[in-house]
Amino acid sequence: MAADFAGETALLYARYRRDLPADQTRALVEHLGLRADDVVVDLGCGTGQLAVPVREHCAGVLALDPEPGMLAGLRAGDVPGILCVLGTDRDLPELRRRLTDRVGVGAVLIGNALHWMDEPAALAGCADLLRPGGRIAVITQGPPMWLGPAAWQQSVRQVLERFFGPVSATCGSDSAALQLRVGTLEELGLDVQVATWRAEHDVDADWVIGHLGSALPAGALQVRTPGGPADAVGTALDQHAGPLVEAVTTTAVIARRPTKAA
């Protein structure tokens, strides 16, 4: 499924996408070796699912995204120390020239967004921003909800495919994409490690439909149309007895710039 992240999609994104859980944020910050005086860049920040939880662990976050609606959602949270910038991965070289020639940033985060970019160029641009010892973290929380293994998730997938056709894209969360990223980062001369964390969340039909709306162009779910996609998802979920549990695996590919040239 494709999203343009504008309008209603951005509003739903702010409401129905979770921030990185607190325990995973602590583990990530440890892997990043963040210092209190570090600036962090969050590339493809959305409405702040990484920027907000990481903010308290560093001096400030520069949050980049090309979608004004997403940045508006992040700004609405009014978290001090997060600077929102309208931009894309293609702006990384300019960012480097303007901001980091002498110092370098402590970390660049990319959450669920690298698959929207020219991956090798974006990762090279991120590596250029780092201070010695700084790190890139490419984070996925996948697979997408509708590709999960639970019976209710399979029902959601069936409904989506009935309305929208195949929805098999993993949004960069599959193991082939991960291996490619590890290889690209190693070729850039970075030391790479991979961490995974798992969380389980109780969800309900409202959450599932809102979350799906955050992954689709505005209006695609036709929420007020009887027999439309949102209605059909609700009906399908009604068939499942007991709580709906979403198991989410977070994968972080963490790549460190060596402190001395090899």
Ligand X SMILES: C[S@@+](CC[C@H](N)C(=O)[O-])C[C@H]1O[C@@H](n2cnc3c(N)ncnc32)[C@H](O)[C@@H]1O
Contact assessment for residue 47 and residue 68, using Cβ atoms and an 8 Å cutoff: no
Q: Smallest distance, Å, CB 21 to ligand X?
A: 12
DSSP H helical ranges for 33-90: 51-55, 68-76
Backbone angles phi, psi at 18, to 5 degrees: -80, 145
Contact status: 5 vs ligand X (CB under 6 A): yes
What is the Cα–Cα distance from 53 to 150, expressed in whole angstroms? 28
DSSP H helical ranges for the chain: 8-16, 22-32, 51-55, 68-76, 92-95, 119-129, 151-164, 175-187, 205-213, 229-238
- For ligand X, the binding residue among 41, 113, 129, 232 (CB under 6 A) is 113
Nearer to ligand X, 155 or 173 (CB): 173
Q: Which residues pair with 197 in a beta bridge?
A: 250
Q: Smallest distance, Å, CB 112 to ligand X?
A: 4
Q: Smallest distance, Å, CB 217 to ligand X?
A: 13
**For ligand X, how many residues bind (rule: CB under 6 A)?**
19
Tokens, residue 4? 């343009």
Q: Smallest distance, Å, CB 84 to ligand X?
A: 12
What is the Cα–Cα distance from 145 to 28, expressed in whole angstroms? 22
Nearer to ligand X, 104 or 172 (CB): 172
- For ligand X, the binding residue among 46, 125, 172, 213 (CB under 6 A) is 46
Q: Smallest distance, Å, CB 71 to ligand X?
A: 9
Return the SS3 of 237: helix
What is the Cα–Cα distance from 49 to 122, expressed in whole angstroms? 20
Distance of CA 139 to the CA centre of its chain: 6
Nearer to ligand X, 46 or 210 (CB): 46
- For ligand X, the binding residue among 32, 45, 58, 138 (CB under 6 A) is 45
Q: Which residues pair with 30 in a beta bridge?
A: none
Instruction: Name which of 243, 33, 23 is nearest 137 in CA terms.
Output: 33
Binding mask 63-102 for ligand X (x = CB under 6 A): --xxx--x-----------------xx-------------
Nearer to ligand X, 91 or 231 (CB): 91
Nearer to ligand X, 44 or 155 (CB): 44
24-33 CB burial, b ≥16 within 10 A, e <16: bbebbbebbe
Q: Closest-CB residue for ligand X? A: 46
Q: Smallest distance, Å, CB 5 to ligand X?
A: 4
Residues at the contact surface with ligand X, assessed by CB under 6 A: 5, 17, 43-46, 49-50, 65-67, 70, 88-89, 111-113, 116-117
